[in-house]
Structure 1
Amino acid sequence: MKKQVFLIGTGQMAVDYLAVLKNQNCDTTVIGRGKESAIKFESQTGVKPFVGGLQEYINNNSLSTNAYVIIATGTEALMPSLLLVLKAGAYKVLIEKPAAISIEELIENEEKLKPYSDKVFVAYNRRFYASVIEAQKMIEEDGGLKTIHFEFTEWAHTIEPLHKAPGVKENWFFANSTHVVDLAFYLAGRADDWKAFSKAGKLKWHSKTNFTGAGFTEKGVLFSYLSNWESAGRWAVELLTEKRRIYLKPMENIFVQEKGTVAVVEHKFDDSLDLQFKPGLYRQTLAFLNEVNNGILKIDEHIKNSKQIYSKIIGF
């Protein structure tokens, strides 16, 4: 039997999700808001969305009790859409990261979301990168992870001119940088005994621009991070075992420095799915639809991360 899926949103993320859902032969209903974006979506995918918004759709239709819902709206509409589909009886929900426009909005809705801890999952797709899965195998071969260093530098000069809904750029660390932070602690274990430091810079649209911190994770892995949005840098994760240093830099690729050498060599692996679809999205969507929860992030864990890790990094 075909799985029934409601896909909320008609932007590029929704286009990327639909490619996977088509591949899996799902019965997909796409719900959009504006005519212009719906027309563009249809021209890209051949699928005509419902136009008028999620509330309008729910007012005139029902979400079947066995339907899966994927929320791929703009950041500002994520939490309102989630609350609507849960109230309407959604069976399982995959919501794009970070599930809310801000840490405050997420925490404000914690009590409302508690009854749905087994129903709602947050789409941090880098957990499902082929490079990450390969790196996990390499770490296991080497006897475990000893140290991790990561960087979540954002290119502020390219973000500043972007036209976003109010609050999106102001919460850019939560909306975007947590892709890296989530992945780092997914691989190393939750931050446990640690110190975090941050300071403001010259940016008018984000409260902090410079970050560093270090400590131990609950698994005993020593970690450190550094990020300066007003200097040079990029997203990166470095994984150190007893035998080698594994670089995810860029995060879709793997480079390796063997112990006792200075050469950094590219490590080849099968990344065919990440070339055919948006990286990580195929495996993540299948984990959601097949209810295989190994690696997929539950909403209550995301709230815990936001309260204990992201809030501390950003310094409030």
Structure 2
Amino acid sequence: MKKNILLVGTGPMALDYAKVLTAQDFSFQVIGRGQESAEKFKTETDIQPFVGGLQKYLENHTLTDNTYIIIATGTEVLMNSLISVLEAGAERVLIEKPAAISIEELIENKEKLLPYSEKVFVAYNRRFYASVIEAKKMIEEDGGLQTIHFEFTEWSHVIEPLTKAPGVKENWFFANSTHVVDLAFHFAGKPQQWQTYSKAGTVKWHAKTNFTGAGITEKGVLFSYLSNWESAGRWAIELLTEKRRIYLKPMEGLSVQKKGTVTVIEHEFDNSADLQFKPGLKNQLKAFLDNDETKLLNIKEHISISKEVYSKIIS
């Protein structure tokens, strides 16, 4: 049966999804709110969005049994959009991370969301980076992952002047830093025994700015992390096997330090899709539209990680 694909949103992320869908000859409808953003979307894609917002669309349209919905709205309306399409009968939903404006909002809606665990997936696209896929192959070749270290430093001086909806910057760790944390524990498994530490800084818009922690995961992988939003740093993951240390730093790239050496060598791999589109998006959409649930983060798992892992890191 042909899939009825709906793309909710007309902002930068929705544009990235539209580019992938168009390049692969998928037909789809786009739902936007304002006339101005819709016109900009049409200029860049030659696709005319429905104008008036998701609620207006649902009042005038019935979702078919085979409706696949991609929610790429602003963070502040992700949860309301998700609940609306589920109640309207969406077959499957891919929602932009982190699916809610805060951990609290996500958990508050737990009972509404859990019945749809097999239908709703959270779009952590870094799981689908070509660099990540290549790193997984290398780890398997080496007999498994032994240790992982990661950093989710945010540039607070850059974030400070940004104009965002109320609550977005206050929940920046959840909305943005979990890109890195999700990927790290996607490699290593969920933390099992661990200690976390965090403290506030001079930043006024986020409760904590300095983080560290360490422990062991359910897969027996030792891990550590460090992040200081008021110092220098960047997003990074280091993966240690018996034979080498693999660097995702930047995360779209891949460098390797072999055991017994000090030289770090850039590793070449096929990243053509990540150069053509927003990195990870093509592979992520393929998994979603092909019903490949093994590669996607379902909403039940996301709620669990948010409550047990993300909350502990920032508490």
**TM-score normalised by length of structure 1:** 0.99
* Whole-angstrom distance in 2 between the partners of 1:172 and 1:205: 9
The corresponding residue for 1:83 is 83
**What are the within-5 Å matches in structure 2 for residues 264-279 of structure 1?**
264-279=264-279
* Whole-angstrom distance in 2 between the partners of 1:163 and 1:5: 31
Which structure 2 segments of 5+ residues have no match? none
Which letter does structure 2 place at the counterpart of 1:95? I
Q: Per-residue CA shift, 1:138-172, capped at 9, x if unaligned? A: 00000000000000000001101111000000000
- More moved, 58-67 vs 5-14: 58-67
Q: Per-residue CA shift, 1:206-258, capped at 9, x if unaligned? A: 00000000000000000000000000000000000010000000000000001
Which letter does structure 2 place at the counterpart of 1:268? E
**What are the within-5 Å matches in structure 2 for residues 240-259 of structure 1?**
240-259=240-259
Which letter does structure 1 place at the counterpart of 2:179? H
Q: Does 1:287 align with 2:287?
A: yes
CA shift at 1:64, angstroms? 1.4
The corresponding residue for 1:100 is 100
CA 264–243 in structure 1, closer or farther in 2 if over 3 Å, else same: same
Does the aligned pair in 1 maintain the 2:200–2:207 contact within 8 Å? yes
User: What's the Cα RMSD here?
Assistant: 0.7
* Whole-angstrom distance in 2 between the partners of 1:200 and 1:42: 44
Which letter does structure 2 place at the counterpart of 1:269? F
* Whole-angstrom distance in 2 between the partners of 1:63 and 1:13: 23
Does the aligned pair in 1 maintain the 2:2–2:66 contact within 8 Å? no
**What are the within-5 Å matches in structure 2 for residues 158-197 of structure 1?**
158-197=158-197
* Whole-angstrom distance in 2 between the partners of 1:293 and 1:163: 36
Q: Does 1:220 align with 2:227?
A: no
Does the aligned pair in 2 maintain the 1:2–1:25 contact within 8 Å? no
* Whole-angstrom distance in 1 between the partners of 2:281 and 2:302: 18
Which letter does structure 2 place at the counterpart of 1:266? E
SS of 1:294's equivalent? Answer: helix
Does the aligned pair in 2 maintain the 1:188–1:217 contact within 8 Å? yes
The corresponding residue for 1:109 is 109
The corresponding residue for 1:146 is 146
* Whole-angstrom distance in 2 between the partners of 1:263 and 1:291: 42
* Whole-angstrom distance in 1 between the partners of 2:293 and 2:159: 33
**TM-score normalised by length of structure 2:** 0.99
- More moved, 163-172 vs 286-295: 286-295
Does the aligned pair in 2 maintain the 1:150–1:238 contact within 8 Å? yes
CA shift at 1:22, angstroms? 1.3
Which structure 1 segments of 5+ residues have no match? none
The corresponding residue for 1:12 is 12
CA shift at 1:65, angstroms? 1.5
Which letter does structure 1 place at the counterpart of 2:261? T
**What are the within-5 Å matches in structure 2 for residues 296-315 of structure 1?**
296-315=296-315
The corresponding residue for 1:207 is 207
Which letter does structure 2 place at the counterpart of 1:11? G
SS of 2:294's equivalent? Answer: coil
Identity percentage over the alignment? 72
Does the aligned pair in 1 maintain the 2:19–2:277 contact within 8 Å? yes
SS of 2:256's equivalent? Answer: strand
Does the aligned pair in 1 maintain the 2:16–2:277 contact within 8 Å? yes
* Whole-angstrom distance in 1 between the partners of 2:75 and 2:11: 11
Does the aligned pair in 1 maintain the 2:32–2:38 contact within 8 Å? yes
Which letter does structure 1 place at the counterpart of 2:211? F
CA 252–279 in structure 1, closer or farther in 2 if over 3 Å, else same: same
- More moved, 57-66 vs 68-77: 57-66
Which letter does structure 2 place at the counterpart of 1:92? R
Q: Per-residue CA shift, 1:57-81, capped at 9, x if unaligned? A: 1111111111100000000010000
**What are the within-5 Å matches in structure 2 for residues 233-244 of structure 1?**
233-244=233-244
* Whole-angstrom distance in 2 between the partners of 1:112 and 1:22: 33
SS of 1:245's equivalent? Answer: strand
CA shift at 1:2, angstroms? 4.3
Does the aligned pair in 1 maintain the 2:171–2:206 contact within 8 Å? yes
SS of 1:181's equivalent? Answer: helix
Any runs of at least 4 consecutive aligned residues in structure 1 with deviations exceeding 3 A, and if so which? Answer: none
